Amino acid sequence: MKFSKKIEKCGLSPMRKFHPYAVAAQERGIKLYHLNIGQPDIETPPAYFEAAKAFNQPVLEYAPSVGVPELIDAIQKYYDNLDMHFEKNEIYITAGGSEALLMVMAAILDDGDEILIPEPYYPNYDTMANLCGASIHPIPTTPEEGYHYADRAKIEAEINEHTRAIMVTNPGNPTGVVLTPEEMRLMVDIAKEHDLFIIGDEAYREFVYAGEPLQSLGQFEDAAENVIVIDTVSKRFSACGARIGCVITRNHELLDQIMKYCQCRLCVPTIDQLASAALYDVGPEYFAKVREEYKKRRDTVMAGLEKIPGVICKCPKGAFYVMAALPVDDAEKFQYWLLEEWDDNGESVMFAPGEGFYGTPGRGKNEVRLAYVLKQADLERAMDLLAKGIAAYNAR
């Protein structure tokens, strides 16, 4: 049977490819500390479940293709509280941030087009671009620079006749990089000057640790035709399974194109939308508590990495990931070895090897992404295991 060339260009998730090996290790009695998947362990606010249980309509009807009014109103109010106003018809509800990104790419990319994204980047971006017949053109960064990319010369050197958009994840996955307001202004200016879309994947907006105000590309109203904001309840409210996100833009011509996709998939699940709307009533104390918890976890991981000779890593300022270069020859081989051949008192550790986060072949071979989504004591033990594992691996 013949398959689409576009789907055949897509790879499997580098975060999930080790699952069979993890299962085999657990069947041997090995306890694993999972730093490989960005699944928060923070409890989802009860308001979500209470709203879902309270649903009592006699017929579960199709929702509007753009989303239910209750959720659109809640998101509009959220942005108003951040001093960013969007009209209700500038907010389209999607099945998670992933569908929002796929909708946007489908609307703006043709075969042979390119989208600029700083590498390392979230690997599923590759799948989305490939399905549109396009490709990601990486903006190079290095661990030594702390994966910094907001540099005019660096970005403009990568723009060519195939470039249609720039995309930034802010705060960053996998790097934890947070753009300053001045850097965000620079990115928007570059997009305007080169007549490009600029897409902000802002799933981790709430998770910044230096006390700075919450930022969004949506604040730049002078770039209304260029800016596209991708948002989601997944990380903000620890509600990944709800699969509720949104596309926000003041570009109404773009929204008219995205509407075709919205109508094709009919609608997003009604009950999840209504339950997610209730999440936006959560007060600022919830986010303050969650931020403090993640900051402690980040500091624990950084303290552990700083004790390992040869590690290259700058302290991330946001999200809940650390990207680091390890003193090993190949992080993927190291992960297989940790799962198949090594343990410390019946325990081992998992991470996401860095090569899968790069678009440039050969980059990231000794780098890893660590998700600090475990409790404090578990993170301390995981970092201890990582240090012991590196020493044993290099001593073979």
Q: What residue type is 66 in one-letter code?
A: V
The two structure tokens encoding residue 224? 């209304």
Enclosing H/E stretch for 97: helix 96-108
152 and 247 in a single domain? The answer is yes
Dihedral angle over CA of 329, 332, 333, 335, nearest 10: 110
pLDDT more than 70, % of the chain: 99
- Give the CATH number, domain containing residue 299: 3.90.1150.10
Is pLDDT at 16 greater than 80 in this prediction?
A: no
237 and 137 in a single domain? The answer is yes
Residue 69, number of CB atoms within 10 A of its CB: 13
- Give the CATH number, domain containing residue 113: 3.40.640.10
203 and 73 in a single domain? The answer is yes
- Total structural domains within the chain: 2
Q: What is the pLDDT of residue 41?
A: 86
Q: What is the pLDDT of residue 44?
A: 96
Q: What is the pLDDT of residue 189?
A: 98
Considering only residues 38 and 310, tell me which one the structure prediction assigns the higher pLDDT. 310
Q: Are 206 and 236 in contact (CB under 8 A)?
A: yes
Q: Are 197 and 164 in contact (CB under 8 A)?
A: yes
| Phi, psi (rounded to 5 degrees) for 348 | -150, 180
Coil vs helix vs strand at 357: helix
Q: In whole angstroms, give the CA distance from residue 273 to residue 275.
A: 5
Question: Most distant CA pair in the chain: distance in Å?
Answer: 66
164 and 273 in a single domain? The answer is yes
239 and 320 in a single domain? The answer is no
Q: Are 87 and 221 in contact (CB under 8 A)?
A: no
Pick the last residue of a domain from 246, 279, 312: 279
Condensed to tens digits (0 to 9), the pLDDT of residues 70-90 reads: 999 999 999 999 999 999 999
257 and 351 in a single domain? The answer is no
Q: Is residue 2 exposed (0-12), middle (13-18) or buried (19+ Cβ within 10 Å)?
A: exposed
Condensed to tens digits (0 to 9), the pLDDT of residues 221-279 reads: 999 999 999 999 999 999 999 999 999 999 999 999 999 999 999 999 999 999 999 99
Condensed to tens digits (0 to 9), the pLDDT of residues 148-206 reads: 999 999 999 999 999 999 999 999 999 999 999 999 999 999 999 999 999 999 999 99
> Which of 1-15, 151-165, 208-222, 345-359 bottoms out in mean pLDDT, i.e. has the lowest?
1-15
Is pLDDT at 15 greater than 90 in this prediction?
A: no
- The pTM score is 0.95
By C-alpha distance, which of 63, 81, 70 is closest to 47? 70
Q: Are 53 and 271 in contact (CB under 8 A)?
A: no
Is pLDDT at 207 greater than 90 in this prediction?
A: yes
Pick the last residue of a domain from 247, 279, 311: 279
Is pLDDT at 40 greater than 90 in this prediction?
A: no
Q: What is the mean pLDDT of residues 118-140?
A: 97
Which range of residues forms the domain containing residue 362?
Answer: 5-43+285-394
The radius of gyration of the chain from alpha carbons, rounded to an integer in Å, stands at 21
Coil vs helix vs strand at 100: helix
DSSP string, 109-178: --TT-EEEEESS--THHHHHHHHTT-EEEEE---GGGTT----HHHHHTT--TTEEEEEEESS-TTT---
21 and 66 in a single domain? The answer is no
Is pLDDT at 13 greater than 80 in this prediction?
A: no
Q: pLDDT-based confidence at 11, cuts 50/70/90?
A: confident
